[in-house]
Chain A
Amino acid sequence: MNAVNEGANLAASSSNAKMAITADRLNRTVSLGDRELVILDDVSLTVAQGETLAIVGASGSGKTTLLGLLAGLDRPNAGTVSWLGETINTLSEDALAKKRQGTVGFVFQSFQLLPALTALENVMLPLELAADADAESRATEWLGRMGLGERIDHLPRQLSGGEQQRVAIARAFAANPSIVFADEPTGNLDTDTGNEIIELMFKLNRDRQTTLILVTHDLDLAARCNRQIRLARGKVV
């Protein structure tokens, strides 16, 4: 509970500071041949630096689509997204990719580790893509911090689900991002392991002043965040 309170204090104290994320009237539709399906309808929100935000809602409510837009993985049909005061929609595909390096980190439900690479190599990857000369030592350090110091040479399939997600978390945080996006981070894990992972993420959020935005079905997990927004049929309710 401490973590939640501390997070809340932090959010309150920085309410006037530069917003980590600002989303303004986001719309996302997909074309189904003769008709348009509205997935997100005029969604606006702001997330302060260091804040934790849970996006909840039923299946098909648009949670993951919203996460994709906020994370700059997808582009809205209308509306804007800003990171730390800078609008990202106007950036070219490659400039946006570059911007993601060092600004955002990701934790996915299905871990998204590369099966052919070892735990260490998976964590090193974002650092190497950003041409970080200390990639190996930083990745080793992060895996040690995740309690996986002994398993850095293991391939993902040699690790349990919880261990794989810890590798993914190390990968997300290793590049020192300002914002971490998590899509159902406990969705593929049993309750105990899920809790363990959540503790870890909140601790990192606290320690590193990272903004954490997660999509979840899990109401307990959502309750631990500073703030929740609920989506229904593409609208914030």
Chain B
Amino acid sequence: MNFSLILRFVKRELRTSEARILVLALAVAVASVGAVGMFADRVKAAFANQANVLLGADAMISGDRELSKEFLEKAGASGLKTTESIRFGSMVTPRLNGATTDTAGAALSDVKAISAPYPLRGAIEVRGEPSAADPRGERIKLDPLKSVPNPGEVFIDERLASRLNLKAGDAIDLGKLQPRVAKVFVEEPEVAGNFLSSAPKVLMNVSDLAASELLGPGSRASYRLQVAGDRADEFAAAIKPKLGPGQRIETVRELRPEVRNTLERSEQFLGLAASFAVLLAVVAIVLALRRYLKRELDTATIFRTLGAARRQTLLHFLGQFFVLSLIACALGVALAYVAQAGLAYAVRGLFASELPAAGLAPLWRAFATGLVLLLGFALPPLVALASTPPVRALRRDMALPTGGGIVAALLGVIAVLGVVMLQAQDLKTGAIFVAGIVALVGAAALGAAALLWGVRRVTRARSRSAWQMGLANLDRRRLSTSIQIACLGLGVMTLITVGFVRTDLFAAWQKSLPADAPNRFLINVQQDQVAPLQSLLKERGQDANFYPMVRGRLVAVNEKSITPADYPNERAKRLVAREWNISSADALPKGNVILSGSYFAPEARDELSLEEELARDLGINLGDTLTYDIAGERATYKVTSLRKVDWDSFRANFFALVPKSNLDTLPKSYITSFHLPTNDLKTLPAIVNTAPNVLAIDVSEVMERVRSIVDQVAKALEFVFLFTLAAGLLTLYTAVVSTQDERRYDTAIVRTLGGTRRQVRDALIAEFSLLGIAAGALGVFGAIALTWALATRILKIEFIASPVVWIVGLVAATLLTLVAGWLGTRSVLSTPPIRVLREG
């Protein structure tokens, strides 16, 4: 292989429009993949940081006994920031005039003994002075390093302050101590986790703990080590096997399912946007490649004629192609870096903190994507090219070497599948995409055949209007027309789908989290309190469902006893170790979908409906029997259905549901959820009056965080969409100009033979209009199928038909094709035909 010859060829090739378009198409492909990937990574990291605020850290180890110092040392060795705290429940009473008072009441509080820095993620927020703009006082974040309570002081939250009528400067009784309230805070980060956070919060300095004598032998407390830093996930994975009994490690993903699902879905949405960029890139590359290879055929012929062996020719082309790809990929990566920086700058206001710095991994991925795509599609035609018979130098009209046909297509499909999977990081998404492409190409071939059949019938008529001439042109270039329709259709499909994902699919997701979603749970409701509470809530317009709940531990599957040690999976171990909430519902609860089996009838007995993920973790199948230990009694149920549960819904959801009759004789409490408007100050006191033992749990903060993540994803998607749109337009343009040479030549002949400019213009308009309509129709149908599949199979949200998007898509596709086609070919009208003919 003569490397200097290759470099010289590349240098010269870069002067030709064919090579330039190919390099540009590939660069745009790499740039879109890289920019979207990099931006998505940064946004994802920002979301993760925000979500970590819910935990106050990136990961947290907790245990019911003091934690081994080994964990702390390990975290330090991994370069992680750490903070230790102890959390427990305690009564708090205010001291009035320096003395305990019985009249001021007492409140069970959630006490946390902390030391600086606290928290590792997020901040404790207090209120500033009330102002006209914010009568309650603006929220101010405290510095985690400086603002923890000093010894002898505590911070209490607003709920405790209002319940006990306390303000900064007052003193409270906390164990044997009487600390002063230094600050009243609005919020501190750790709101996720379990429902315990319903009690008002007190933060104290850890050095006061011993003197307070709050924790004696046997006291219930949670000892925690929170860590934050780049290697937190790695640390969590390494620590997991070392945890002792009663200890656990949580990362934000293992927290509330609502948060976990929101994060996962955000990643899916952004990953999808990146996959679309890949798809568009593929179309542009295929088209540009076709034109480029056609040109290279002449070079191959000359090479062969001048005595280059097949291997020599192949090596030369491979080398040339590789260098071209490297240039394009490098250009694309540079573009990607600039574009993502631009994107990040454009959305700078949307995120609470600055976007985390971009890692280089997406750029490498984009670079590899470019190489894989180009070589995937180009390799078979290049091999064919190297076998060009030299006699083609004498007979230019001879058949072209077949470009690897099926092999080329197959390699291309594999390349796309690989790249899409890399983007979507999910086999199923990749498969749906590729199936979509294959189906669309098939449909395009059929559609184009039908269209051309129609065209032939029209053009057979005697009179030859300019329009008929244009249609006849399409028919003559049958293969090119079919390819163009397929590629344009694919472009249109992608653009419509992205638009659809951005608006409708997203709306469907947002709809799953409506403004009036339940934000309060009532637990510990007794049977005789259900009716009065139900009517109380009904008076306030809340139709609350009360679910009975018994606690039971799974002790046997199919009559065989089980222990946590039987399961390798961590989650399964936990599920077997703890008690479950078992509930009952006559009808399938809202937001639940039966995946297999059928939901039991109201009158059934000893049947059970199980949540599918849990069933999978525990290896439980339909028809298995599960035995629970419920308050010392054993109860056995047969699994008759597996359910998917909508964990995003903020409703009361259960892993196991059994028929009502099975719970009749068991001791049980009830749970419900309802929406409490922020300005409603009366409902909760009314509930407490009716049922003083009932615990009301506030999940509005978690919901707020989730909703804000969703809103930010929406904005990020808008920007990513703009990028995909730009790539899409370039693809459309490439598709249209791909037949420019043929069209220029044909037009020159027509003009030479006396065709007027007007005739030629009308013919071109007819041609492009028809192409646009065909591609638009194909694209719209493809988009409907694809979005349906995406909504129902991947994002698992409701598919909303939106005819307006479709009609707009069709019209826009037609107009865009027309405009792009016109811009790409109008020069033929002003170029003297002789010049075109001379250039061949």
A residues in contact (CB < 8 Å) with B: 64, 67-68, 73-74, 93-94, 97-102, 106, 108, 110, 112, 114-118, 121, 125-126, 128-131, 157, 171, 183
Contact B389 A74 (CB under 8 A): yes
A129 in complex: contacting residue of B8, B307, B391, CB < 8 Å: B307
20 A–B contacts, CB within 8 A, in A order: A64-B395, A68-B391, A68-B394, A73-B391, A74-B390, A74-B394, A94-B311, A97-B307, A97-B308, A97-B310, A98-B309, A100-B306, A108-B394, A112-B298, A114-B302, A115-B16, A116-B15, A121-B8, A128-B5, A129-B303
A7 to B820, CA, bound (A): 60
Q: Flag whether B330 is at the interface (Cβ < 8 A).
A: no
Q: Is B90 an interface residue (CB 8 A)?
A: no
Distance (whole angstroms) from the CB of B292 to the closest CB of chain A? 12
- Chain A residue nearest to B301 (CB atoms) is A112
**Interface contact B396-A116, CB-CB below 8 Å:** no
Determine if B310 and A64 form an interchain contact, defined as CB atoms under 8 angstroms apart.
no
Min CB distance A181 to B, Å, is: 9
In whole angstroms, what is the CA distance A125 to B511 when docked?
66
Q: Which of B16, B393, B395 contacts A112 (CB 8 A)?
A: B393
Check if A106 sits within 8 Å of B307, measured CB to CB: no
A-facing residues in B1-40 (Cβ within 8 Å): 2, 5, 8-9, 12-13, 15-16
Partner of B306, one of A74, A101, A121: A101
Say which residue of B9, B298, B303, B305 sits within 8 Å of A106 (CB atoms): B305
Docked pose: A74 CA to B398 CA in angstroms: 12
Instruction: From A101, A121, A171, give the contact of B12 (CB < 8 A).
Output: A121
Query: Is B503 an interface residue when CB atoms closer than 8 A count as contact?
Result: no
In angstroms, Cα B414 to Cα A99, docked, is: 39
B-chain residues with CB within 8 Å of residue A100 when the two chains form the complex:
305-307, 390
CB distance from A173 to the nearest CB of B (A): 13
Docked-complex contact A125 and B306, CB < 8 angstroms: yes
Report A-chain residues with C-beta under 8 Å of the C-beta of B16: 115-116
Assembly CA distance A115 to B12 (angstroms): 9
Q: Is B304's beta carbon under 8 Å from chain A?
A: yes
Query: Using Cβ atoms and an 8 Å threshold, which residues of chain B touch A183?
Result: 394
Q: Which residue of A lies closest to B305 (CB)?
A: A106
Instruction: Output the least CB separation between B349 and chain A (Å).
Output: 49
User: In the assembled complex, which residues on chain B have CB atoms less than 8 Å from the CB atom of A129?
Assistant: 2, 303, 306-308, 312
- Assembly CA distance A56 to B309 (angstroms): 31
Asked whether A110 and B396 contact (CB < 8 A) given A94-B311, A98-B307, A98-B309, the answer is yes
**Chain B nearest CB, measured from A70 CB (Å):** 11
Q: Are the C-beta atoms of A73 and B15 separated by less than 8 Å?
A: no
CA distance A100 to B393 in the complex (A): 14
- Please measure, in the bound complex, the distance between the C-alpha atom of A73 and the C-alpha atom of B305, giving whole angstroms: 7
Contact of B310 among A68, A93, A121, A126 (CB under 8 A): A93
The reply to whether A97 and B390 contact each other, CB–CB distance below 8 Å, is yes
Whether A114 contacts B311 by the Cβ 8 Å rule is: no
Interface contacts beyond A106-B393, A116-B9: sample of 10 additional A-B pairs, CB < 8 Å, sorted by A: A68-B395, A73-B391, A74-B391, A112-B301, A116-B12, A121-B12, A125-B306, A126-B306, A129-B303, A131-B2
Bound-state CA distance A118–B299 (Å) is 14
Residues of B within 8 A of A108 (CB): 393-394
Per-residue interface assignment for chain B, residues 275 to 314, with 1 indicating a CB less than 8 Å from any chain A CB and 0 otherwise: 0000000000000000000000011011111111111100
How far is A171 from B306 in the complex, measured between Cα atoms in Å?
Answer: 9
Question: In angstroms, how far is the closest chain A Cβ from the Cβ of B3?
Answer: 11
A116's partner among B13, B303, B304, B305 (CB-CB below 8 A) is B13
Bound CA–CA A102/B839 (angstroms):
31
Q: Which B residues are in CB contact (< 8 Å) with A101?
A: 306-307
Name the distance in Å between A68's Cβ and chain B's nearest Cβ. 5
Query: What is the chain B residue whose CB lies nearest that of A183?
Result: B394
Write the nearest CB–CB distance from A144 to chain B, whole angstroms: 21
Residues of A within 8 A of B9 (CB): 116-117
CA distance A130 to B839 in the complex (A): 30
Q: Is the CB of A128 within 8 A of B2?
A: yes
The 10 tightest CB contacts between A and B, nearest first, are: A101-B307, A94-B309, A100-B307, A116-B12, A74-B391, A73-B391, A126-B306, A73-B390, A68-B391, A97-B309
Q: Are B309 and A64 in contact (CB under 8 A)?
A: no
- CB nearest to B390 among chain A residues: A73
Q: B838 to nearest A CB, angstroms? A: 9
Of all chain B residues, the one with the shortest Cβ separation from A215 is: B394
A99 contacts which chain B residues (CB < 8 A)? 307
Cα(A73)–Cα(B309), bound, Å: 12
Residues of A within 8 A of B302 (CB): 112, 114, 125
Complex-state Cα separation, A108 to B389, whole angstroms: 16
Q: Shortest beta-carbon distance, A125 to chain B, in Å?
A: 6
The residue on B at minimum CB distance from A171 is: B306
- Residues of chain B within 8 A (CB-CB) of A171 are 306
Please give, as numbers and ranges, the residues of chain B lying within 8 Å of A74 by CB-CB distance.
Answer: 389-391, 394
Using Cβ atoms and an 8 Å threshold, which residues of chain A touch B395?
A: 64, 68
Q: Are B394 and A67 in contact (CB-based, < 8 A)?
A: yes
A97, closest chain B residue (CB): B309
Report the minimal beta-carbon distance from B392 to chain A, rounded to whole angstroms: 8
Min CB–CB distance A120 → chain B (angstroms):
10
Contacts of B308 in A (CB 8 A): 97, 129
Contacts of B303 in A (CB 8 A): 125, 129
Contacts of B309 in A (CB 8 A): 93-94, 97-98
**CB-CB < 8 A to B13: which residues of A?**
116
